[in-house]
Structure 1
Amino acid sequence: MNTCTISLAGLAESQHGQVKYASAFADEHIQEITLIDGHIHITHNSPNGDEGIIARVERLIERFSHGDFGFKENILFENKVDTPYEGDIIAELVERKAIKVLEPGLFIFREPFSSLMRFLDYSFVTKIANRFEGVQEEQYPAVINSHTLNKTNHFTSFPEHIHFVTHLREDLDVIEAFSQSIREDGGWDQEKPLALDNNMVKPNFMMNPSTCYHCYEGLENETLEGDGIVVTAIAKCHRFESKNHSDFGRLLDFSMREIIFVGKPEFVKENRLKSIEYLKELAVEWNVDSMMEIANDPFFTNDFQVKASFQRNQEMKYELRLSIPHVKKSIACSSVNFHSNTFGNAFNIKMGKRNAVTGCVGFGIERWAFAFLAQYGLDEQQWPATFREQFHAWQEKAL
Structure 2
Amino acid sequence: MEDASNTYAPGDESPAASGSSYAAPTPAPDPDIGRRAFRQALIDARLLYASAVDGIYGRSGLFESIADGLNAAISKLGADQHAEVMRFPPAMPRRDFEASEYLKSFPQLAGTVHCFCGSDRDHHRLLARLEQGEEWADQQRPTDVVLAPAACYPVYPVVAARGPMSAEGMVVDVLTYCFRHEPSIDPARMQMFRQREYVRLGTAGQIVAFRQVWIERGRQLAGMLELPHEVDLANDPFFGRGGKIVADSQRELKLKFELLVPINDGAPPTACMSFNYHMDHFAHAWPLRTADGEPAHTGCVGFGIERLTLALLRHHGFELAKWPRRVRETLGGL
Q: TM-score, normalised by structure 2?
A: 0.84
Equivalent position of 1:180 in the other structure: 124
Listed one character per residue, the Cα deviations across residues 269-326 of structure 1 (whole Å, up to 9, x for unaligned) are 1111111111111112221011110000011132122211111111100000111253
Equivalent position of 2:134 in the other structure: 192
Letter in 2 for 1:149: F
The answer on whether the counterparts of 1:81 and 1:289 sit within 8 Å (CA) in structure 2 is no
Equivalent position of 1:280 in the other structure: 219
- Choose the corresponding residue for 1:126, options 76, 85, 92: 76
Structure 2, unaligned runs of 5 or more: 1-18, 25-33
Equivalent position of 1:51 in the other structure: none
Equivalent position of 1:116 in the other structure: 66
Question: Whose strand fraction is larger, Structure 1's or Structure 2's?
Answer: 1
- Choose the corresponding residue for 2:105, options 135, 157, 161: 157
How far residue 246 of structure 1 moved from its aligned partner, in angstroms, is: 1.7
Secondary structure of residue in 1 paired with 2:262: strand
Equivalent position of 1:167 in the other structure: 115
Equivalent position of 1:219 in the other structure: 159
The answer on whether the counterparts of 1:79 and 1:283 sit within 8 Å (CA) in structure 2 is no
The answer on whether the counterparts of 1:296 and 1:317 sit within 8 Å (CA) in structure 2 is yes
Q: 1:281 and 1:190 mapped to 2: Cα distance? A: 57
Secondary structure of residue in 2 paired with 1:246: coil
Paired residues for 1:33-44 under 5 Å: none
Pair 1:210 & 2:147 matched: no
The answer on whether the counterparts of 1:325 and 1:375 sit within 8 Å (CA) in structure 2 is no
Identity of aligned residues (%): 23
Pair 1:355 & 2:285 matched: no
Secondary structure of residue in 1 paired with 2:167: coil
The answer on whether the counterparts of 2:231 and 2:259 sit within 8 Å (CA) in structure 1 is yes
The answer on whether the counterparts of 2:211 and 2:299 sit within 8 Å (CA) in structure 1 is yes
Between the two proteins, the alignment pairs up a number of residues equal to 304
Letter in 2 for 1:309: D
Structure 1, unaligned runs of 5 or more: 1-76
The answer on whether the counterparts of 2:151 and 2:175 sit within 8 Å (CA) in structure 1 is yes
The answer on whether the counterparts of 2:173 and 2:197 sit within 8 Å (CA) in structure 1 is yes
Equivalent position of 1:50 in the other structure: none
Pair 1:249 & 2:188 matched: yes
Equivalent position of 2:5 in the other structure: none
Q: 1:233 and 1:190 mapped to 2: Cα distance? A: 44
Letter in 2 for 1:320: L
Letter in 2 for 1:225: S
Indicate how the Cα distance of structure 1 residues 325 and 381 shifts in structure 2: closer, same or farther if over 3 A, else same: farther
How far residue 233 of structure 1 moved from its aligned partner, in angstroms, is: 0.9
The answer on whether the counterparts of 2:114 and 2:142 sit within 8 Å (CA) in structure 1 is yes
The answer on whether the counterparts of 2:224 and 2:330 sit within 8 Å (CA) in structure 1 is no
Pair 1:236 & 2:153 matched: no
Secondary structure of residue in 1 paired with 2:87: coil
Q: 1:80 and 1:202 mapped to 2: Cα distance? A: 46
Indicate how the Cα distance of structure 1 residues 283 and 202 shifts in structure 2: closer, same or farther if over 3 A, else same: closer
Let me know the Cα RMSD of the aligned residues: 2.5
Deviating above 6 A after TM superposition, structure 1's stretches of 4 or more consecutive aligned residues are: none
Q: 2:23 and 2:221 mapped to 1: Cα distance? A: 14
How far residue 384 of structure 1 moved from its aligned partner, in angstroms, is: 2.6
Secondary structure of residue in 1 paired with 2:249: helix
How far residue 110 of structure 1 moved from its aligned partner, in angstroms, is: 0.6
Listed one character per residue, the Cα deviations across residues 44-79 of structure 1 (whole Å, up to 9, x for unaligned) are xxxxxxxxxxxxxxxxxxxxxxxxxxxxxxxxx952
Equivalent position of 2:241 in the other structure: 302
How far residue 358 of structure 1 moved from its aligned partner, in angstroms, is: 0.1
- Choose the corresponding residue for 1:79, options 13, 18, 21: 21
Equivalent position of 1:136 in the other structure: 84
Letter in 2 for 1:220: A
The answer on whether the counterparts of 1:289 and 1:322 sit within 8 Å (CA) in structure 2 is yes
Equivalent position of 1:107 in the other structure: 57
- Choose the corresponding residue for 1:320, options 235, 238, 259: 259
Q: Which has the larger radius of gyration?
A: 1
Equivalent position of 1:98 in the other structure: 47
- Choose the corresponding residue for 2:96, options 128, 134, 148: 148
Letter in 2 for 1:101: A
Secondary structure of residue in 1 paired with 2:265: helix
Q: 1:333 and 1:280 mapped to 2: Cα distance? A: 11
Q: 2:98 and 2:177 mapped to 1: Cα distance? A: 19
The answer on whether the counterparts of 2:42 and 2:48 sit within 8 Å (CA) in structure 1 is yes
Q: 1:345 and 1:283 mapped to 2: Cα distance? A: 35
Indicate how the Cα distance of structure 1 residues 220 and 392 shifts in structure 2: closer, same or farther if over 3 A, else same: closer
The answer on whether the counterparts of 1:101 and 1:107 sit within 8 Å (CA) in structure 2 is yes
Q: 1:202 and 1:223 mapped to 2: Cα distance? A: 34
Secondary structure of residue in 1 paired with 2:269: strand
- Choose the corresponding residue for 1:380, options 295, 320, 325: 320
Letter in 1 for 2:46: K
Indicate how the Cα distance of structure 1 residues 328 and 193 shifts in structure 2: closer, same or farther if over 3 A, else same: closer
Secondary structure of residue in 2 paired with 1:204: strand
The answer on whether the counterparts of 1:138 and 1:232 sit within 8 Å (CA) in structure 2 is yes
Q: 2:49 and 2:216 mapped to 1: Cα distance? A: 36
The answer on whether the counterparts of 2:20 and 2:227 sit within 8 Å (CA) in structure 1 is no
Q: 2:217 and 2:188 mapped to 1: Cα distance? A: 23
